[in-house]
Structure 1
Amino acid sequence: MNNFKDFKIKAELSTFTGDKIKVDRLLNAEISVLAYKIEDSKVKQGTKLLILQLEKSGTKHVLFTGSTILMQMIKQVPEDKFPFKTTIVKESEHLEFT
């Protein structure tokens, strides 16, 4: 019988660290975006969810948002430009990075 340890499989840790934060607490404040991922929403079928690993005032946080504008914008940032500083603002009825 095989032992699992003989397979040399390592866990892929793709979880972000820090407390969950609401976007309202981030508006108009400078943050550092460390990483992101976009996945299918488990709450709203057929939609996507943006998960941001960010830092505000030296503390790491995780933001979950369905903002399609933020998703479109962050996908355009080259991988080698992370982390970057930004501010999330509310323009009319949508969120944007500035």
Structure 2
Amino acid sequence: MKKFSELGVTVQDERKMFNCSQVSISDVLNCEIIVEDFIPDVKTSHGEGRYLVKFKHSNGADGKFFTNAASLKKTLDQIPKDAFPFSTTIKGMKCGNGKIYQFTY
């Protein structure tokens, strides 16, 4: 029997994947986390254009969350790849009927 690696098949989908537990962004609000990486423009059941953020808790556990928060997405787009990982706390502030999420120092 041949091994898959011997079949000469190339993998079509080379997207980055984060193999860790998914949480809600509300689970990490007001907690210090280490943002390790992100994937922009992910389509989910809630819509297109979401960002998937990989992080590490202060206890060392890996996690990920989806966000469509414009302020977080714009900030992540501005951070050079060589500046990852970085430590932050995500704060949520009420704005009308919703919330605005921001990285803080």
Conserved? CA contact 2:50–2:66, under 8 Å: yes
Which residue of structure 1 lines up, in the alignment, with residue 102 of structure 2? Answer: 96
Structure 1: gaps (5+ residues): none
Give yes or no for contact 2:42–2:52 (8 Å, CA) kept in 1: no
Q: 1:63 to 1:42 in 2, by over 3 A?
A: closer
TM-fit CA distance, 1:9: 3.4
Alignment check: 8 A CA contact 1:17 1:53 kept: no
TM-score when scaled to structure 1?
Answer: 0.82
The residue aligned with 1:18 is: 20
- What is the alpha-carbon distance in structure 1 between the residues aligned to residue 74 and residue 20 of structure 2? 24
Give the secondary-structure state (helix, strand or coil) at the position aligned to 2:78. coil
Give the superposition deviation at 1:42: 3.1
On the 8 A contact 2:16/2:39 being kept in 1, the answer is no
1:97 maps to a residue whose letter is F
Structure 2 Cα separation of the partners of residues 43 and 31 of structure 1: 26
Say which SS state the counterpart of residue 75 (structure 1) adopts. Answer: helix
Higher alpha-carbon deviation: 31-40 or 78-87: 31-40
What is the TM-score normalised by the length of structure 2? 0.77
Aligned equivalent of 1:49? 50
- Percent of aligned positions with the same letter in both sequences? 23
Count of aligned pairs: 95
Cα distance in structure 2, aligned partners of 1:61 and 1:25: 10
Change (3 A) 1:76 1:20: same
Query: Cα distance, 1:62 vs. partner?
Result: 1.0
The Cα RMSD (Å) is: 2.3
Distance of 2:60 and 2:15 partners within structure 1:
22
Does residue 32 of structure 2 align to residue 30 of structure 1?
yes
